[in-house]
Amino acid sequence: MVVTGRNGAGKSSLLRVVAGLVRIAAGHLTLDGGEPDAPIAEQAHYLGHQDALKPSLTVSENLQFWTEFFGAGRHAVEAALNTVDLSPLAGLPAAYLSAGQRRRLSIARLVGVPRPIWLLDEPTSALDAPSQKRLAELMRDHLAGGGMIVAAAHGPIGLERARELKLGDA
Amino acid sequence: MNAFTTLLIRDMRLATRVGGGALMGALFFLIVVVMMPFAIGPDLALLARIGPAILWLGALLASLLALDRLFATDHEDGSLDLLMMGSLPLELSVATKAIAHWLTTGLPLVLIAPVLGLMLNVELHAMGWLALTLLAGTPALTFIGLIGAALSVALRRGGLLLAVLVLPLTVPVLIFGVAAANAAIVGPTPFGPPFTILCALSLMSFVVGPIAAAAALRHGLE
C-alpha cells in the first residue's frame, strides 16, 4: 500500500503509529495471520528518515549490530550487503558513505532480518535510478513471499499494483 | 550472539572509538584531583582527611560528564526508534546501555582512583577500601543518571537539565560512599553499615533506573 498526501498530512505519523512508536489515542491495530502474542512492532521493519547508522562503526559492523539485535545470525550480514551492492565497502567506517549509500545500508537491514511488515517512509529519497530499481525488485520479492509493505511516498516507488491511501485535509 | 551481548559490544565499541566519551570522565577525574592539592596547599594531614571526599566528588562529577550523550546520539540518528522495536524489552535495552556506559566510564574511575589517592596522601593500605567503595557506588551513579538522560533525551543541550535532575538524587550515594571510605581510612566508626547501605542504594538503582528510564523514553519520543 502506498500512502500519499501533502506535506504534513500525517503520512509519517501513520507509519510511526503502526510501528508502535506513537501510542494510539483510540482504536487498535491487529495483524491478520501474524503471531498473536507478539506486538506488531516486533513483526515490522521501520525505515524512517534517519538511517540509524553510527559513523564510527564500519559498514558491516553497523549492519551486523542490527541483524543480531533483531535476532538474525551473523551469516545474514554478507548476503544482505551483496543485495545492496555494498560488499566492497564492508570495512569502511560509515562516516565516509554518501547519502544514497547510507540509505542502501539501512535497506540491507530489511533484507537481513525477515519480518512480514515493511514500513517505509519515503524509501526512494537519496537513491539513484539503478538503486531505486533494485529497491523495487526487493519490494516485489518481499510481496511475493507473502510480506506486506506500507510506504509513504510523493512519487512512484516502483510498485504498480499497490493500493493507494490518500491522506488530506478534506 | 543474542540481542543483549550485541548491544553491549556495540555500545562499548562506540565509546572507545573516535568521538566516544570513554576516557573523558577519567581525564576529568584526573584533572580535578591533581589540581586540588595546589588549591588547598601542602598540608598533608588536611589532604589525608579530605582525600576520600575529594575522590568521591571527582568521581561523581566525572560520571555525570558523558551521561547526556547516552541516549541523545541514538535519538538523533533514529537508532532509538529501532531499539524500541526489538524483541528485547526496552527496560533491558536501557539497562544494557547503562552497563556498557559504566564499563567504559565508571570502571576506569575505580581503577585509577588508587593512583590518584597517592596525590592526596591517602594511606596505601586504605587504597583498596577506597576503590571498593567506588566500585560499589559508581554503578548507582550511572543507573540514577540513566533516568535523567532518558528524561532529557529530546531536548537540545539537555546536559544542564540532566545535572539539575540527577545531582540531588545522587546525594545519598555520595554521603554513604564518603562515610564508608572515611570509616575504612580514619575510623573509628565501623566500615560495615555505610558500605551495606551503599550497596543497597546501588541494587535499588539497578531496579528503579531502567524501569523509570524506559517509561521516560516511551513518553518523550511520542
Range of the domain at A154: 2-167
Higher pLDDT, A60 or B145: B145
Please indicate whether, in this complex, the C-beta atoms of A42 and B79 are within 8 angstroms of each other: no
What φ, ψ does residue A55 adopt, rounded to 5°? -60, -30
CB pairs under 8 A between A and B: 78
Total domain count, chain A? 1
Residue A48 has pLDDT above 70, yes or no: yes
3-state secondary structure of B87: coil
Distance from B63 to chain A by nearest Cα, in Å?
23
- Average pLDDT of chain A to the nearest whole number: 77
Amino acid B20: pLDDT = 67
Mean pLDDT of A44-73: 80
In terms of CA atoms, which chain B residue is nearest residue A64? Answer: B6
**Predicted pLDDT at A35:** 67
- pLDDT of res. B14: 81
Tens of pLDDT along B118-173? Answer: 888 778 888 888 888 989 989 999 999 898 888 888 776 767 788 888 888 899 99
Quick check: B141 and B106 in contact, CB under 8 A? yes
Q: Does B219 touch chain A (CB under 8 A)?
A: no
Rounded-to-integer distance, Cα B214 and Cα A35, Å: 25
Query: Which residues of chain B lie closer than 8 angstroms to A92, CB-CB?
Result: none
What are the φ/ψ torsions at residue A31 (nearest 5 degrees)? -120, 115
- Predicted confidence at residue A1, as pLDDT, reads 74
CB-CB under 8 Å, A52 with B85:
no
Q: Which three cell numbers mark B91?
A: 527496560
- At residue B1, does pLDDT exceed 60? no
Give the chain B residue nearest A69 (alpha carbons): B3
Residues of B in contact with A46 (CB under 8 A): 81-82, 85
Residue B42 confidence (pLDDT): 79
- State the Cα–Cα distance between residues A125 and A154, nearest whole angstrom: 10
Contact A21 B87 (CB under 8 A): no
Q: Cell triple for residue B149?
A: 538522560
Most confident among A13-22, B84-93, B162-171 (mean pLDDT):
B162-171
Q: Do B85 and A21 touch (CB under 8 A)?
A: yes
In the predicted model, what is the mean pLDDT of residues B85-96?
Answer: 84
What proportion of chain B, given as a percentage, has pLDDT over 70? 95
What pLDDT does B19 receive? 66
Q: What residues of B are in contact with residue A22 (Cβ under 8 Å)?
A: 222
Does position A119 have pLDDT exceeding 80, yes or no? yes
Sign of CA dihedral A95, A100, A101, A107: positive
Residue B28 pLDDT more than 80?
A: yes
- Distance, CA of B29 to CA of B58 (rounded, Å): 5
What is the pTM for the complete model shown? Answer: 0.85
Give the gap in angstroms from C-alpha B69 to the nearest C-alpha of chain A: 13
B151-156 long-range contacts (CB < 8 A, ≥24 apart) are B151/B216, B151/B220, B152/B68, B152/B72, B153/B71, B153/B72, B153/B75, B153/B80, B153/B216, B153/B217, B153/B220, B153/B221, B154/B75, B154/B220, B154/B221
Q: What is the arithmetic mean of pLDDT over A26-53?
A: 74
Question: How many Cβ atoms are within 10 Å of B31's Cβ, its own excluded?
Answer: 12
* pLDDT at B3 (0 to 100): 78
Q: How far is B106 from chain A (nearest CA, A)?
A: 22
Interface predicted TM-score (ipTM) = 0.78
Domain ranges of chain B: 3-220
Task: Give contacts of B222 with chain A, Cβ < 8 Å.
Answer: 21-23
State residue A36's pLDDT score. 67
Chain B contacts of A18, Cβ < 8 Å? none
B20 touches chain A (CB under 8 A): yes
Select the highest-mean-pLDDT range: A35-39, A69-73, B3-7: B3-7
Q: Which residue of B has its CA nearest to A65?
A: B6
Contact B76 A50 (CB under 8 A): yes
Q: For the residues A151-168, what does the mean pLDDT come to?
A: 73
Strand A117-121, strand A164-167: pairing: unpaired
Report CB contact under 8 Å: B17, A66.
no
- B116, amino acid identity: L
Give the whole-angstrom CA distance, residue A119 versus residue A141.
15
In this complex, is the C-beta atom of B1 within 8 Å of any C-beta atom belonging to chain A? yes
pLDDT attached to residue B172: 92
What is the pLDDT, as a whole number, of residue B139? 92
The neighbour count for residue A54, using CB atoms within 10 Å, is 24
Largest CA distance in chain B: 58
Q: How far is it, in rounded angstroms, from Cα A140 to Cα A133?
A: 11
Of B2, B13, B77, the CB nearest to A53: B77
Q: Which of B20-29, B34-43, B131-140 has the lowest mean pLDDT?
A: B20-29
**Does any CB of chain A come closer than 8 Å to the CB of residue B221?**
yes
Across the interface, whether the CB atoms of A70 and B3 are under 8 A apart is answered yes
Burial code (b: 16+ CB inside 10 Å, e: under 16) for A133-163 equals: ebbbebbeebeeeebbbbbbbeeebbbeebe
Peptide bond into B188 cis (omega under 30): yes
pLDDT 10s digits, A78-93: 777 777 777 777 777 8
A132-137 average pLDDT score: 81
